[in-house]
Amino acid sequence: MNNDKYMQRGVSSGKEEVHEAVKKIAASSFPRAFCRVETDPADSSRYIVLHADGAGTKSALAYAYWRETGDLEVWQGIATDAMVMNTDDMLCVGADNNIFVSSTIGRNKNLIPGKVIGAIIDGNIRFVEKMKRYGIDVHLSGGETADVGDLVRTIIVDATALGFVTKKRFISNNNIAPGDVIVGLSSYGQCEWEDSYNSGIGSNGLTSARHDMFSKEVAHKYPETYDASIEEVAYTGSHKLTDGSPVEGVDIGKLVLSPTRTYLPLMKEIFEHMDGRIHGLVHCTGGGQFKTIKFINLLRVVKDNLFPIPPVFDLIMKTGTAPEEMYRTFNMGHRLEIFVDPKDANTIIKMAKNRGIDAQVIGHCVPSSENIVELITPFGKFVKKEK
């Protein structure tokens, strides 16, 4: 799939025009911090982190899979996606506890019954209970469920989260420097707090994955899952939702619907053990492996030891998506990057592996006159530059 096809589907991996549109309100005292923060007016020693994100178009695939199989559990995964896309962005500035989450759901009531909403709420509760076992308090603060069938074809699941971080603990990414190495945390496998294998796909690039992997049969059976104006590029793949996958016991629909992995329990442990020694954190979500370029200053980031490509991304690539586009759209095997002094890397890697998360040094930082991210992949070198 080339970028033109991606655009035809109404999406953009880099969202450049969105960033341009919000420039007037995006100014911040910490332009390289992963999330915007503001000083807490009630406590000048800490920052408030207010964040919003969601499961995106993954909910359209969940809808088709649920209709096909009757499996309500996929909606619990969508709840996790919306939750984690907030919490794990926020941990990139150091917020790892006492997070308040408000859910926003827009549904087409004629297609989405109350039992689906109930499954999403159950998913939120399960996530909260899991995090509590690790000393992390996530508070469900209600939210809004709106019947907006005139606007939403099936359902959209979003959330807004509020957290706090002390100024001492705050991570601005300003400390990322030449000589730093990058520890990547794997996005796939099965870690300590996951119930089953996680493909690692997260909640980014699902429009691409869904339409490139699944066949016209999905379009014909569930036309409400796509915009008729993109008929030519909708569901152009060869797979049925319940076809087998390279992962034993997991069909392709479930593989692509793997809930986004949270790194909260691990990062809470790392923050406590390495207080002040984390130079920077980047969550490789929208923008894939090039996301890093937004958070560095006059550096060349060389990623020359990437993880093996997980099966889900190999399947997507086999549909014809160009390798460089894959790395621009998907995390391709690791979703969280920790920038540290080389002497601290092995400690983090050991802590991660103790929790069932594979980790390795995936790259390093060198001085530069401009911002550059350089990927050394099995398909060649891919480079992005920004002044």
DSSP letters of 85-115?
HHHHHHGGGT--S-EEEEEEEEE-TTTS-HH
pLDDT band at 214 (very low <50, low <70, confident <90, very high): very high
CATH number of 3-386: 3.90.650.10
What pLDDT is recorded for position 10? 62
The more confident residue out of 2 and 167 is 167
- Provide the whole-model pTM: 0.93
- DSSP H helices, 308-341, are 311-317, 323-329
DSSP type of residue 198: B
Answer yes or no: are the C-beta atoms of 206 and 331 closer than 8 Å: no
**How many angstroms separate the Cα of 149 from the Cα of each of 31, 56, 146, 155, 214?**
38, 17, 9, 9, 25
> Burial code of 218-247, b = ≥16 C-beta within 10 A, e = fewer?
bbeebebbbeeeeeebbbbbebebeeebeb
Query: What 3-state DSSP class applies to 58?
Result: helix
Q: How far apart are the first and last CA of the chain?
A: 28
Model confidence over 138-184: pLDDT tens digits?
Answer: 999 999 999 999 999 999 999 999 999 999 999 999 999 999 999 99
What pLDDT is recorded for position 113? 97
Could you give the dihedral angle defined by the CA atoms of residues 374, 376, 379 and 385, in that order, rounded to the nearest 10 degrees? Answer: 0
What pLDDT is recorded for position 4? 59
Of 206, 229, 226, 207, nearest to 216 by C-alpha is: 226
High-pLDDT (> 70) share of the chain, %: 93
Angle at 85 between CA 18 and CA 95, to 5 degrees: 105
Task: Identify each DSSP E strand in 41-174 by its residue range.
Answer: 43-54, 99-107, 138-147, 155-166
Task: Determine the Cα–Cα distance for residues 74 and 2; give it in Å rounded to an integer.
Answer: 30
Task: Determine the Cα–Cα distance for residues 265 and 268; give it in Å rounded to an integer.
Answer: 5
| Least confident segment among 9-23, 250-264, 371-385 | 9-23
- Residue 372 CA from chain centroid, whole number: 22
Mean per-residue pLDDT, 54-75: 97
Q: Sketch the domain layout of the chain as residue ranges.
A: 3-386
Residue with tokens 């109404």: 10
What pLDDT is recorded for position 387? 76
Answer yes or no: are the C-beta atoms of 332 and 326 closer than 8 Å: yes
Give the full edge-to-edge strand order of the sheet including 181-186: 280-283, 334-340, 181-186, 359-367, 299-303, 371-377, 380-386
Q: In this structure, what token pair is assigned to residue 198?
A: 């996680």
User: Given a cut of 80, is residue 320 above it in pLDDT?
Assistant: yes
High-pLDDT (> 90) share of the chain, %: 90
